[in-house]
Amino acid sequence: MNLIYSGLSAQTVTDMVMGFSGVISVIFLVVILFFGCYGMYGVIKLRKEQYLIPHRLMYPNYCSGDDCEDPGEYMDYIRPRLTILSVTMLLGGLLLFLGYFIPTLRSLGITLILYITIFAMYIWYSLCLRRAKKKYW
């Protein structure tokens, strides 16, 4: 079906494909922003406290800070990676939020790039945690 003859504009098709008006996109946006804020909280707290704090994003699955073999080296390893992940999540969430109000940020290409970047950063951080589990636990 040709979209030009159906009366749908490119923006309407983009909205339908990406689900801007749907509840799922709002939940995704809230989760991304919460994830970024929680990560930045962990980075700030880690820098301030200088010991491993109980923080879910900082540890690999089923590991605790008490079982870590070298906490100081692990903090040096995880802090920059958690910072990169948190900043990316916050910026991606902010751009997705602004896309609701600025039509140029709402294009399919920009939105797709944001989703792919956020997903790729999550996968990258998961791999970093997997390597950390092998090295520090």
The domain total for the chain is: 1
Asked if residue 21 belongs to a domain, the reply is yes
* Domain span at 39: 10-136
Burial of 103 (0-12, 13-18, 19+ CB in 10 A): exposed
d(CA 69, CA 20): 46
- Tens digit of each residue's pLDDT (9 = 90 or more) over 57-91: 777 877 777 777 888 898 889 899 999 999 999 99
Q: Which residue type does 81 have? A: R
- Tens digit of each residue's pLDDT (9 = 90 or more) over 96-116: 888 878 877 777 788 788 889
Asked if residue 132 belongs to a domain, the reply is yes
d(CA 35, CA 89): 7
